Each structure stands twice: as structure tokens, then as C-alpha cells.
Amino acid sequence: MAARPVSAAELVRAFRRRTQLQPDKLSILNAIWERELGPLAKHLELSGVRRGTVYVRPASSAAAVELRMRASSLLRALNKYFSRGWIKALKATAR
């Protein structure tokens, strides 16, 4: 049985239901990630977003420690691009 085609509107609705986040916020976050993290961005990959928490995959334990140490300053830096700060936490996830 072949899967039925899915419209873009259905995909966006499903995305919003699952992440509770507008696609424009996510695209802004993706665009500013490397700019704000600088060289650290090579070692931290955006994994997902849920209820104001941005999940990040660190490339190593050192990158995870760096994320924890810089979390509060990174939150301020990332939230300044939005009219209302919606990012509440940054958390490292397992690979």
C-alpha cells in the first residue's frame, strides 16, 4: 500500500501540533544559531524544540559542558532576535 501524498499545509499543521512552535521562529533560530555560537556551533547541533526548551546534540562531553556553562548568556543572545523571548532553556541530548 503506497502512502498518500501530503500537502504542505498538512505538514505545517502537524509540525505546529508536535512542536508548539511557528515555523518562522524555527527558521530564525536556525539562521542565528551559528552567528551567536561562533566556533562552538560546529560542535553543537540543533536537535529539536519543545515548550520553550531547545534541545542540542553536543559532539563531545566538552561541548556539553561548554553549553551548560554558557547557557544563560546564549539564552539572552538567542532571545534578542524575537519580539518576545520564548526560549526558556538549552538542554544537551544524547547522540
For residue 69, pLDDT over 90 is answered with: yes
pTM: 0.70
Residue (of 68, 72, 85, 82) closest to 27 by Cα position? 82
Radius of gyration of the CA atoms of the chain, in A: 15
pLDDT in tens, 38-49: 899 999 988 888
Confidence of residue 15 (pLDDT cuts 50, 70, 90): low
Cβ neighbours for 36, distance < 8 A, ≥ 6 positions apart: 74, 77, 78
Strand extents, DSSP E, 1-43: none
User: Looking at residue 15, what DSSP letter applies?
Assistant: H
Where in the chain are the domains? 21-92
**What class does CATH assign to 21-92?**
alpha beta
